[in-house]
Amino acid sequence: MSQPYPDKYDRQLIQAFASLESPSEIQNFLRDLLTTKELKEAANRFRIATLLWQGDKSYLEISQECHTSTTTVTRVNDWLRHHKHQGYATILKRLHPKT
């Protein structure tokens, strides 16, 4: 059975991120928190979300460019477009506003 999100420890991690004051601090915290493989996977998922947001490539093209499966592209798209939290969309609207 899955646990509710966010729980006490999730909120502590969220608060830790919120307290960071610069890209350098975020970079250092992420590097301490995650393995190189975990960082690369997170960065690749964000890259997938960005390519989906830009909307000019197919799932197959994105999967080939990002060296991942079309299943992963589909999952990222589901979180980008259909989940209530809209975390990807919030940041992508700021970084890549559609004109």
Exposure of 76 by Cβ count < 10 A (0-12 exposed, 13-18 middle, 19+ buried)? buried
* pLDDT, mean of residues 48-69: 97
Whole-number pLDDT of residue 30: 97
Q: What is the pLDDT of residues 15-26, one digit of tens each?
A: 999 999 999 999
Query: Would you say the C-alpha torsion 25, 38, 2, 70 has a positive or negative sign?
Result: positive
Measured CA to CA, the distance from residue 39 to residue 17 in angstroms comes to 15
Q: How confident is the model at residue 1 (pLDDT cuts 50, 70, 90)?
A: low
Q: What is the pLDDT of residues 74-84, one digit of tens each?
A: 999 999 999 88
Measured CA to CA, the distance from residue 42 to residue 23 in angstroms comes to 16
Where do the domains of the chain lie? 1-33, 36-99
Whole-number pLDDT of residue 3: 83
Q: Is the pTM of this model over 0.95?
A: no
